[in-house]
Amino acid sequence: MTHKHKSLKPVVLSTALAALCAPAFASDHRDSPYTQQNPAADIGDVFLFQGAQTGGLAMAMTLNPLSGSGADGTQPSDKIKLSPDLIYIFNFDTDGDAKADLAYKVKAGAATGGQAQPLDLRKAIGAEARDAMWTGTQLGSGMTTALNSELQVVTGKTDELLFVGPRRDPFFFDFLTVDAPVALAIKEALAGGDHLPAAGSSELAFGRTDMTLIVLEVPDLGQTPLNYWVTVADGSGKTVDRMGRAGIQGIYLVDAPTGYNAEYYIPRNSAKYPTIGDLNNAYNASSPDQDRANYGEQFTYRFEQLEVSQNVLSDKVDFYLPDMIRWDPSQPKGYPNGRNLREDAIYWTLNDLNPFGQAAEGVELPHIGTQRMSDRFPYVAPSIVQEFKPGSQLEPVFPIFME
């Protein structure tokens, strides 16, 4: 499936959907008690698309959300790093069982007097792809890129490309053209309930903020169908955060916002998960093959709140669980078949979940991200505090993309 631009008037969404979205329609920022305390473990978003640099699959994850915003618990853009205690993993299921068959693992060492860190890349297959440990075959090593410093790209044994460094948060959801009640609820969630800066547009969904970007491109990967998700592991074999589709935890695993009936947000299995925080921590620690059994009831409940018809309810849950992004090269590219850096995946999800959207003449939706990205690796836009050469707002002090 792919995004197709269509003429719509500002989309009117149901009160039920507004209530569902209200707590956190950030894609995955600040999704659990653990990640709120450990921003270097907090996956904000994940992406998967065909890379122009090698023609293979490019994948990205974002960490350290809201950096440079001044929000509580955040750091300036020139201070954010990966944690040397954590392993950052790109996971691929190649046989349809929702278990990792192939994984690319990234680990950083301690910084030595600055932001730059030593960096290693490994490839794991089979059991090692599933162990959430620092295992696998070494592909390459190098350094992360510090802010306003020379671009560092690790090149692997089979021409993999790896970048790690501070860049502009690529997430956006343009809700200025989504009418009340849901627009108000989303803006309240972003700016109020989650204490996130928000300015509604594709350029300023979270205000001017940076994140740590991990971007990996693998030549020849993606020629056959696969499923994809990312994880952060603590080195002991435990996963502390994970993400596949956009907005999953921000829709289904959320606390009640101020003014909403808290009973509607209690986990369905409250004996096992007394609080939403417990549910989110458990979700992050589990793997996609466990999703339907562990969280199907919770997702079903949310779909019932949305008044999804009973005859399609099970199919809808099956579509969103297991929580993975599908990649099928025989199908049109575009979310949910991959996810590129400019797509409004949150709009796609709203449009898919909302049975009350009204098509009419008017605004072109979905919108496309307008950040200053490139068709050269690592693709993502410059930091919000990128320095440029004197008299220029286009030429950085050091090149930020490969030739």
Pairwise CA distance, residues 140 & 151, whole Å:
16
- DSSP structure class, residue 23: T
Residue 386 in domain: no
Pairwise CA distance, residues 45 & 377, whole Å:
18
pLDDT in tens, 361-394: 566 667 788 889 999 999 999 999 999 999 998 8
Higher pLDDT, 250 or 284: 284
Q: Which of 113, 44, 10, 58 is nearest to 375 (CA)?
A: 58
Pairwise CA distance, residues 206 & 245, whole Å:
19
Share above pLDDT 70 across residues of the chain, in percent, rounded to a whole number: 79
- At 17, is the pLDDT very low, low, confident or very high (cuts 50, 70, 90)? low
- At 258, is the pLDDT very low, low, confident or very high (cuts 50, 70, 90)? low
Q: Cis bond leading into 399, ω under 30°?
A: no
Spell out where 21-149 has E strands.
46-50, 57-67, 87-93, 102-108, 118-125, 137-143
Residue 152 in domain: yes
> Rg (Cα) of the chain, in Å, rounded?
20
Averaged pLDDT of the chain: 84
Share above pLDDT 90 across residues of the chain, in percent, rounded to a whole number: 59
CA atoms within 13 A on the CB side of 345: 27
Residue 376 in domain: no
Mean pLDDT of 286-309: 89
Residues in the chain: 403
Residue 208 in domain: yes
Distances from the Cα of 277 to the Cα of 33, 229, 364, angstroms = 6, 21, 37
Residue 263 in domain: yes
Q: Which two tokens stand for residue 47?
A: 């992406």
Report yes or no: 54 and 124 within 8 Å, Cβ to Cβ.
no
pLDDT at res. 218: 98
Residue 395 in domain: no
Pairwise CA distance, residues 48 & 379, whole Å:
12
Mean pLDDT of 64-74: 87
Which residue blocks in 254-376 are alpha helix, DSSP H? Answer: 276-285, 291-305, 310-320, 345-353
Pairwise CA distance, residues 158 & 7, whole Å:
45
> Three-class SS of residue 289?
helix
pLDDT at res. 34: 80
Looking at the 3D structure of the chain, how many domains does it have? Answer: 1
Could you give phi then psi for residue 191, rounded to 5 degrees? -95, -25
Pairwise CA distance, residues 57 & 123, whole Å:
15
Could you give phi then psi for residue 34, rounded to 5 degrees? -65, -50
- DSSP structure class, residue 270: T
Among 64-73, 85-94, 207-216, 277-286, the least confident range:
64-73
Mean pLDDT of 326-347: 94
pTM of the model: 0.89
Domain with 144 in it: 6-363
Residue type, 321: L
State the SS3 of 97-119: CCCCCEEEEEEECCCCCCCCCEE
pLDDT in tens, 122-173: 999 999 999 999 999 999 999 999 999 999 999 999 999 999 999 999 987 7
pLDDT at res. 60: 98
- Rounded to 10 degrees, the C-alpha dihedral 189/190/192/198 comes to -150
pLDDT at res. 283: 94
pLDDT in tens, 272-281: 999 888 998 9
Q: Which of 75, 90, 134, 74 is nearest to 108 (CA)?
A: 134
pLDDT value at 324 more than 80: yes
Helix (H) or strand (E) holding 248: helix 248-252
Query: DSSP secondary structure string, 180-214?
Result: TTHHHHHHHIIIIIT------SSS-BTBS-EEEEE
Residue 392 in domain: no
Mean pLDDT of 17-38: 58
Taking phi over 0 as left and psi of -120 to 50 as alpha, with beta for the rest, 96 belongs to left
Helix (H) or strand (E) holding 6: strand 6-8
Residue 396 in domain: no
Buried b (16+ CB within 10 A) or exposed e, 97-110: ebbbbbbbbbbbee
pLDDT at res. 262: 75
